[in-house]
Structure 1
């Protein structure tokens, strides 16, 4: 089992683990908002299947190292223990710095700071990446939430209408989203480029709540569900669990971020249960 950090604010709570800086639970009035597979492995090496992992420094397949980079399979440091802020939010700060392992894959000096803030029916995630090395580097980054869905076939996602996207299920075929609301009734793996800064997702949690997703300096949105055929190929996902999960992922992935020495990249996303 992983060591666990808990944030509590009234009847709302967050649990996260330093392994991958992964948020494993977010409850609003005791109701679970995140999906976590019952078959998720806890071996300290395999990414956690669910919750909110972080993707850095590479989104997708990577010739230098593991799929989606190393941030979600590396132990992070707790820089600041959970504390209550003046506005009532409860926060924790974690960090990841280059080390022998990361430099064996990606030979750059960096520091990533990750602040998790629990508000009332609200979760805010703040990410900063600093180049503290001597050479420039490029990276992609993504916040990868697995949302618990009442029935993914009934959900609707706003904020992608008219947006260009690459369909990974069709070898990155480029298209434009014509639907006012994105719906999911089959294997879906779309990279939407430069989406609206706010999305609304219906059908979240067992009660079918509405989730507001606000993005800051995370221009892109990835929508993923493996559906039955792909789910069958994932050893850490139950055969029917895909019906109760959907990944809607704010990121900076269509174009990499370039940082010169001493430069810093800041981004954030806020999730709020609104109905």
Structure 2
């Protein structure tokens, strides 16, 4: 693969390094070295597939509201760690010595970049463990997006963490009530699963519906899901498929009207056009012994839907 054509490294409007991946058919992905965050994912027609708030803050150290933030070493807001951990707020570097690519990851036409985040003194103040976090982002010839994270314990003692790819999908109007019985946006693949409801003090429930639709705020962690979940968008006639490895849980989040107004970097009405569906490991934290490594992977594809 000719990386000089498929991979471009530049600076964004705030002088932060970023990487743009391009597929031969015109799809693209843009990754910021601030947070190792995918900021944009466009299909071959140039349509943006990820949501970013019009009020997002793009200057470090603030995390950007949108795209795909990396949540490590925790998801949520507990203890002394900042919300969703510090990985999404720190600067990363291009990994000059990445692990070998699998044969399926370097197929002809795939563009990729490897990023690296190592524990810093600032990290150690709130989470006293030495780690290496490697991220590979791959844009396939078909425009599909893959993120692979490898976390290695370079500590002298075990540590535990949770992790999520906090993916903000761009959708048409999510509100079920304005579409009568024909829901515009729904999630399938979560039926019969237990979930923790963050709106009810993490109480455990079981999903009763055949598909998840939206008429109010949702903040749930679905447990031990299958390896594939789909987001159907009737109006835009497209379906996102989330396939995952090493990430047993799925977070589904939409703040709805009231909470949107309380979030400073989020527009009052923007909840209508976004949905977070995250591949995650939350209920059972991952524990690594010294020298051990964990790998988590998500493959995001989008296809035209016929209704």
Shared topology, TM-score over 0.5? yes
What's the offset of the Cα at 1:274? 1.9
Aligned residue number for residue 181 of structure 2: none
What's the offset of the Cα at 1:39? 0.5
Q: Deviations over 1:56-113 (max 9, x none)?
A: 00111121220111000000111159xx944211000001111111111111110000
Aligned residue number for residue 3 of structure 1: 17
Q: How many residues align?
A: 273
Distance in 1 between the 2:58 and 2:39 partners? 12
TM-score by length of 2: 0.86
What is the 5 A alignment of 1:84-233?
85-119=106-140, 120-153=142-175, 154-203=184-233, 207-233=236-262
Matched residue SS, 2:95 = strand
1:31 aligns with 2:61: no
Which consecutive segments of 4 or more residues in structure 1 shift more than 4 A?
Answer: none
Which deviates further from its counterpart, 1-10 or 27-36?
A: 1-10
Matched residue SS, 1:243 = helix
Q: Deviations over 1:205-246 (max 9, x none)?
A: x83411111010100000000000000000111111100000
What is the 5 A alignment of 1:10-29?
10-29=25-44
Unmatched 5+ residue regions in structure 2?
Answer: 1-13, 98-104, 176-183
Distance in 2 between the 1:227 and 1:8 partners? 34
1:51 aligns with 2:67: yes
TM-score by length of 1: 0.96
What's the offset of the Cα at 1:152? 1.5
Distance in 2 between the 1:194 and 1:35 partners? 26
Matched residue SS, 1:242 = helix
Which deviates further from its counterpart, 148-157 or 252-261?
A: 148-157
1:41 aligns with 2:57: yes
